[in-house]
Structure 1
Amino acid sequence: MNVEMRYLHAFRVVCEAGSLRAGAGILHRTEQAVSYQLRKLEEALGMPVFQRSNGRLTPNAAGERLLAFCREMGRDWDRLREEIRASESPSPPLRISAVSGFGRYQLLPLFLEGPLADVPIRMRYPTAEEVVRHVETGVSDLGFVHRMDPHERLSHIPLGTEEIVLIAAARLSQSPALDVESLRDATYVTYDESDYVFATWFTQALGMNLTHCNVASHFEELEEVLEWVAAGRGVSIVPAACINDHAARGDLMALRKPGRPCQNTIYAVLDPARHHVAIERTLQVVRKHAQF
């Protein structure tokens, strides 16, 4: 059986219009042309689909079943059309703001060659306060910070942890002792996010916070911090993932107090009122790869 789609369309229009004349007007065809299509449909089916009375066409039992099929087919066609449109419309880039240590060294690799490589992104590395402000004002769709600052509108979702380590130049003849006296006298290289990171490490590793440090140099970003420490210009405290390349080259070493690793929680910052199709997938991948 070969039933042309135009016959089914004409059948549905006439049924819903209630008469051949009304259906022909909707289809912009003559009544004779529409009548011909209906006859060809009935010939293909091998049975009548209308009750004909006083110029009106009313679907019979077979016609009612055929009409239900036509309507369901129309809904399937609409769904298919929307799916095709959605697949052809590229998703807007996912705008992310993340603190530098986590963003550059743990988050970005997931988008570069990892499981999120197909997601287009716009990445920024501001301070934690600016990350929250970017999400709050709509500059970014998603944020990542290393501390939770309560907010009346934004959500902070814990995703995992990062290890924080004290770092020193690998070429030092003697590495700093991990005790209060030695570390109080050490010279430090600091950066914009270091106050919170230093306090977290001192509290977990030493059981107390050193409120005053001898600062040799200060930078905005971690790259300069790592270079300065590798050159023997001081020590610093950074996320462990930051030093992998330097440690592999033998420039830096991470100092850990046995039995007292320092872990810091990473939070995703979201505005529940905004949505991007890639957010949930991104959170699932980050949660899977973060240590928690």
Structure 2
Amino acid sequence: MRFDLTDLSLFRHVVEAGSITRGADRAHLALAAASTRIRNMEEALGAPLLVRARQGVTPTPAGRTLVQHARTMLGQAERLREDLATYAGGLAGQVRVLSNTNALTEFLPEALSTFLTAHPNVNVDLEERLSDEIVGLIAEGVGDIGIIAGTVDPGRLTTYPFRSDRFVLVVARDHPLAKRDKVEFAEVLDLDFVGLDRASALQRFLSSKATQVGRPLRLRVQLRSFEGVCRLVERHVGVGIVPATTASSAIKSMAIKAVDLADPWALRELTICVRDFKALPPYAQQLVEHMRAEARPAEARQAKTRHAGTH
């Protein structure tokens, strides 16, 4: 029975994604090649590793055992590469970051770009997830660093403040709601929405909030960016929910209006979480410190803005 690191990495991705297709995509393998590798692994073991269903795949008891060992072995391989990199000069390795939609689209691009420019031998594997999913995955050691909403209980994870933002409703400038300063989410559920792809963490979050109210979310169009959401809102296709930072930028060039959401969940305090900072590889520790350093000036600017607004 021989499983190479590519096999183990693929199997870990498949289990975590709950899909051979998405797992193959994350492992940068063609679907046919990924399916062949999984089948060969099962044949070599002499037992099934996955339960296949229309909704996706789940690991069998043998599969759960394999993925636990795969994570350990892949982690050891990464530590080996990290230790040997010191002889080649500079840090080298890969850090896995799990982030909710807000941080991923609004704050991480800038923070990661400056970090990666300064560390050309470090790669970042960035994945979008719901905040409560991220807590569990970081606790299990699936990811190195998580960015979650401050409203989520991080359990025993170590946390650090990152950024603050809030979600707002965006409407066309001549929409009846444009005259409102504030609105509750439940008030707008009879309207058509322009939103992100249904698989996105934010869209799943908003759908769950609508379900709690006992109403469906009428998602008319699905896009891949908040900017695209704002552009279709401007053309009266529907209303949308985006971060306030996105709305304030879009308002400068689009005929839209941002209306505050009165719901408590609309305020987003974003938090960095790790399982054990000291156990992180050096490059992952440096990324955490880099994000914390970038957060401090942003917090100071926000505090200054709030202070000015009271005078």
TM-score (norm 1): 0.53
1:74 corresponds in structure 2 to none
User: Aligned ranges for residues 4-15 of structure 1 at < 5 Å?
Assistant: none
Deviation at 1:270, TM superposition (A): 0.6
Find the counterpart in structure 2 of residue 160 from structure 1.
163
Matched residue, 1:193:
202
> Are residues 238 and 198 of structure 1, via their aligned partners in 2, closer, same or farther at CA, if it must alter by over 3 Å?
farther
Matched residue, 2:100: 99
Structure 2 runs not aligned, ≥5 long: 1-82, 304-311
Deviation at 1:275, TM superposition (A): 0.8
Map 1:247-262 onto structure 2 (within 5 A).
247-256=251-260
Aligned to 1:150: 153
Asked whether the equivalents of residues 148 and 156 of structure 1 are also in contact (C-alpha less than 8 Å), the reply is no
Q: Which amino acid aligns with 2:149?
A: H
Aligned-partner Cα distance in 2 for 1:99–1:176: 31
SS at match of 1:96: strand
**2:243 paired with 1:239:** yes
1:275 aligns to 2:280 (yes or no)? yes
Q: How does 1:107-126 map to 2 (within 5 A)?
A: 107-112=108-113, 114=114, 117-119=117-119, 120=122, 121-126=124-129
Question: Structure 1 residues 175, 95: CA separation in 2 closer, same or farther (over 3 Å shift)?
Answer: same
Structure 1 pair 250/87, CA: closer, same or farther in 2 (3 Å)?
same
What is the distance in 2 between the residues matched to 1:139 and 1:133? 9
Cα distance in structure 2, aligned partners of 1:141 and 1:117: 20
Task: From the superposition, tell whether residues 128 and 275 of structure 1 become closer, same or farther in structure 2 (CA, over 3 Å).
Answer: same
SS of the residue 1:135 aligns to? helix
- Quickly say closer, same or farther: Cα 1:174–1:220, change in 2 above 3 A: closer
Q: Determine the C-alpha separation between the residues in 2 that align with 1:122 and 1:216.
A: 30
Percentage identity across paired residues of the two chains: 14
- Match status 1:287 vs 2:295: yes
Q: CA deviation at 1:271?
A: 1.0
What's the offset of the Cα at 1:287?
2.5
8 A Cα contact 1:99 1:145, kept in partner: yes
Match of 1:253, as an amino acid?
K
Q: 1:207-259: CA deviations, max 9, x gaps?
A: xx95536523364854454444233222122211233553332153322379x
Q: 1:231 to 1:151 in 2, by over 3 A?
A: same
For residues 208 and 252 of structure 2, what CA distance do their matches in structure 1 show?
A: 27
Q: Which amino acid is 2:152 matched to? A: D
- What is the DSSP-based 3-state SS (H/G/I as helix, E as strand, rest coil) of the residue aligned with 2:292? helix
SS at match of 1:93: strand
What do the CA deviations read for 1:153-190 (whole angstroms, capped 9, x no partner)?
43343333112211113464872634569635433335
Q: Which residue does the alignment assign to 1:67? A: none
Q: Which runs of 5+ in 1 are unaligned?
A: 1-81, 203-208
**Alignment pair present for 1:175 and 2:178:** yes
Is the helix fraction higher in 1 or 2? 2
TM-score, normalization: structure 2? 0.50
Cα distance between partner residues in 1 of 2:152 and 2:244:
23
Tell me how large the CA RMSD over aligned residues is.
4.1
Between the two proteins, the alignment pairs up a number of residues equal to: 201
Please say if residues 111 and 118 of structure 1, whose CA atoms lie closer than 8 Å, have aligned partners that are also in contact: no
Q: Hey, what's the Cα distance between the residues in 1 that align with 2:147 and 2:275?
A: 12
Hey, what does 1:131 align to over in structure 2? 134
Amino acid at match of 2:96: R
Could you say what secondary structure the match of 2:106 adopts? Answer: helix
- Is this contact kept in 1: 2:172–2:235, CA < 8 A? yes
- 8 Å CA contact 1:176, 1:183 repeated in 2: no
Larger radius of gyration: 1
Q: Which residue of 1 aligns with 2:215?
A: 212
